[in-house]
Amino acid sequence: MMAALGKIEEAKSEKILDILSKKDLFDIVDGDKAIKKLIQKAIKKKKGLGWSVFVNAFKIYKTLKNKLGINPGTDFERWITRELNKQGIDTIGDLMELRMQAPSGLKDVTTGALIDDLFPDLAIVTSDITTNTKVEFPRMASLYWNDFKSESPAKLVRASMSIPFFFEPFKVTNIPDAGKEKHPLWNENAKYFGPVPASVSFVDGGMLSNFPIDVFHRQDGGVPRMPTFGVRLSTYREEFNSTDSLFGFSGAMISTMRQIHDYDFLMKNPDYRQLICRVNADKDFNWLDFQMPVNEQVRLFLKGAEEAVKFLDEFDWEKYKEVRRNFPGSY
């Protein structure tokens, strides 16, 4: 949304707040009404949850068996599509063209020469579970569509938010060159060497990388031109998991799989800790609460704003660059 709401140099926070304030986010939970009520009970921890699960058990099973998710995700995709269309962004090509418009008057800090060939990257991360691939859109979009620039960016966002079983996986059919083995594009971009599948299912990118700050990492170990800030909404390795029960064990296992890649990157690149703003919102807020009361929304917003101001006040850009100059290596 930030990438589509205006030119790079334009402020967008107020626009995003306006869009979010006008949307009933619980509409995103667009599955069967009975299951929708059950989800609401579970999130709000209301009484009678066990009975509701029992009554709807067969319906849930049938939905998961046939659809692989209890919510289609259609409302979300249509909402994103409408908001992008209002900004004149109908296709991925439109979005890329907007991103190519560099701010006027941008100069090299050392030579003073005007810069017109630097364009900010955009990365929407999702998980292709058909080929076990961590996908970065739009960079890898040509693997999945013949003319990806004519597709809606809302499809990329929909693919990235498909929480397993909560939403139906996002499917793309008619994959280019289906059946071809050792396809050079797949080899180069996905390190996949088998036959190209005819269709692919995507789930939430967080299943493979829940905090993909490495996407914009400078691989040569040099000093970056500008910092890449990340915002971590959940606590970071401060408590151990309880693994004595089936649900506890399963949750801990899934959490480890989702985050171990990111943990590994941060441990190998400790300088990145200086670039991460920690909000720790998961202590007080449920990340699946799409029906959060307005006062709770305000409290969550203020918490994020306060932590952001604190982080920016304390961040020392010159000190960070010095750390990178003296850093022994990069992974």
Dihedral sign (CA 110, 111, 112, 118): negative
Least confident of 225-234, 236-245, 265-274: 236-245
pLDDT of residue 309: 96
Report which DSSP code applies to 114.
Answer: B
pLDDT above 70 (res 236): no
Listing DSSP states for 282-308 in one string gives: GGT--TT-TT--HHHHHHHHHHHHHHH
Of the candidates 277, 268, 270, 325, the residue with the CA atom closest to the CA atom of residue 303: 277
> Higher confidence at residue 43 or residue 258?
43
Q: Which of 78-87, 247-256, 319-328 has the highest mean pLDDT?
A: 78-87
Average pLDDT over every residue of 148-169: 95
User: So where are the chain's domains?
Assistant: 1-8+90-102+119-207, 213-237+247-324
pLDDT above 70 (res 330): no
pLDDT of residue 210: 74
> Higher confidence at residue 304 or residue 267?
304
Region of 28 (left: φ > 0; alpha: ψ -120 to 50; beta: rest) is alpha
pLDDT, mean over the chain: 88
> By three-state DSSP, how is residue 93 classified?
helix
Alpha carbon distance 231, 301 (integer Å): 13
Amino acid at 186: W
* % of the chain residues with pLDDT over 90: 50
Least confident of 186-195, 251-260, 297-306: 251-260
pLDDT above 70 (res 226): yes
pLDDT of residue 328: 64
Q: What is the pLDDT of residues 240-253, one digit of tens each?
A: 878 788 767 877 77
Phi, psi of 83 (to 5 degrees): -65, -35
Q: What is the pLDDT of residues 54-69, one digit of tens each?
A: 888 999 999 999 999 9
**Is residue 285 very low, low, confident or very high in pLDDT (cuts 50, 70, 90)?**
confident
pLDDT above 80 (res 167): yes
Of the candidates 261, 137, 275, the residue with the CA atom closest to the CA atom of residue 218: 275
pLDDT of residue 327: 72
pLDDT of residue 76: 97
pTM of the full structure: 0.85
Q: What is the pLDDT of residues 102-154, one digit of tens each?
A: 788 888 777 888 877 777 789 999 999 999 999 999 999 999 999 999 999 99
**Is residue 27 very low, low, confident or very high in pLDDT (cuts 50, 70, 90)?**
very high
Dihedral sign (CA 87, 106, 231, 250): positive
Least confident of 15-29, 89-103, 224-238: 224-238
